[in-house]
């Protein structure tokens, strides 16, 4: 709980920066005018920033190369079964919003394969980036994150009728970008995290202290 509070405090000033970025993308790049769509897209962007914080994605001032790999699935369950189970559950929960929000926001991702691949690719990108941190690059994280994406997708399927009805506005105007919009948003959030996070947090802590 304390860790979540600290992450929330650290994320808050970055989330403020995210709002105008999403507004610019939504209204000028993707040509969307729906306020509900803007709010849902903002939630997706906030979620990505949170994932980057939790998984320890590097920033420009923290780059290092730490070749810590775990390629053998399930091996840690023998050595630390309780900790392994805890991490497994957390990893699944972490990526459930990914599996839910992608099909909820973009009908191009309403197929199982599209959402599955997106969750897998995002998790793989995170694991590769963790090479440049002190974090362990673990195949189990890739597996459990993908499972979380699938779980989130089926949660969306259970609520599909309501989601489709409430989030349909603007789809006709965004067909050109539907497939690429989440990729563009993810890239923008990564750039904010990589370049602006250390600058903003240092400035905030300087003001506080």
pLDDT at 18 over 50: yes
Average pLDDT, the chain: 87
What band does 147 get if pLDDT is binned at 50, 70 and 90? very high
Of 1-10, 12-21, 115-124, highest mean pLDDT: 115-124
Which tokens hold the place of 127?
């694991």
pLDDT at 96 over 70: yes
The whole-model pTM stands at 0.89
Q: How far apart are CA 25 and CA 28, in angstroms?
A: 6
pLDDT given at position 32 = 85
pLDDT given at position 203 = 77
Which tokens hold the place of 79?
């050595």
What band does 149 get if pLDDT is binned at 50, 70 and 90? very high
Q: How far apart are CA 99 and CA 112, in angstroms?
A: 9
Specify the DSSP class assigned to residue 93: H
What band does 200 get if pLDDT is binned at 50, 70 and 90? confident
pLDDT given at position 174 = 47
pLDDT at 103 over 90: yes
Lowest mean pLDDT among 27-36, 104-113, 200-209: 200-209
For 204, the 3-state DSSP assignment is helix
pLDDT at 172 over 60: no
Lowest mean pLDDT among 116-125, 133-142, 156-165, 175-184: 156-165
What band does 177 get if pLDDT is binned at 50, 70 and 90? low
Mean pLDDT, rounded, for 106-124: 96
| Residue in this structure with the two tokens 């840690």, named with its chain if needed | 76
Mean pLDDT, rounded, for 63-92: 85
Q: Which residues pair with 70 in a beta bridge?
A: 138
Residues in the chain: 209
For 64, the 3-state DSSP assignment is coil
What band does 208 get if pLDDT is binned at 50, 70 and 90? low
CB 130 within 8 A of CB 56: yes
Mean pLDDT, rounded, for 111-139: 93
What band does 165 get if pLDDT is binned at 50, 70 and 90? low
């Amino acid at each position: 709980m304390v860790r979540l509070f600290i992450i929330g405090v650290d994320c808050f000033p970055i989330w403020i920066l995210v709002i105008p970025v999403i507004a610019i993308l939504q209204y000028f790049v993707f040509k969307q005018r729906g306020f509900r769509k803007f709010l849902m897209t903002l939630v997706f962007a906030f979620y990505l920033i949170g994932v980057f914080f939790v998984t320890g994605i590097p920033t420009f001032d923290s780059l290092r190369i730490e070749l810590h790999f775990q390629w053998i699935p399930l091996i840690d369950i023998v050595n630390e079964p309780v900790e392994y189970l805890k991490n497994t559950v957390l990893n699944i929960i972490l990526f459930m919003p990914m599996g839910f929000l992608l099909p909820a926001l973009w009908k191009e991702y309403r197929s199982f394969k599209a959402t599955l691949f997106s969750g897998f690719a995002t998790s793989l990108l995170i694991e590769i980036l963790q090479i440049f941190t002190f974090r362990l690059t673990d195949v189990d994280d890739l597996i459990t994150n993908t499972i979380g994406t699938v779980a989130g997708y089926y949660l969306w399927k259970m609520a599909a009728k309501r989601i489709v009805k409430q989030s349909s506005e603007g789809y006709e105007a965004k067909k050109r970008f539907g497939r690429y919009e989440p990729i563009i948003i993810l890239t923008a959030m990564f750039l904010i995290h990589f370049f602006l996070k250390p600058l903003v947090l240092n400035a905030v802590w300087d003001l506080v202290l």
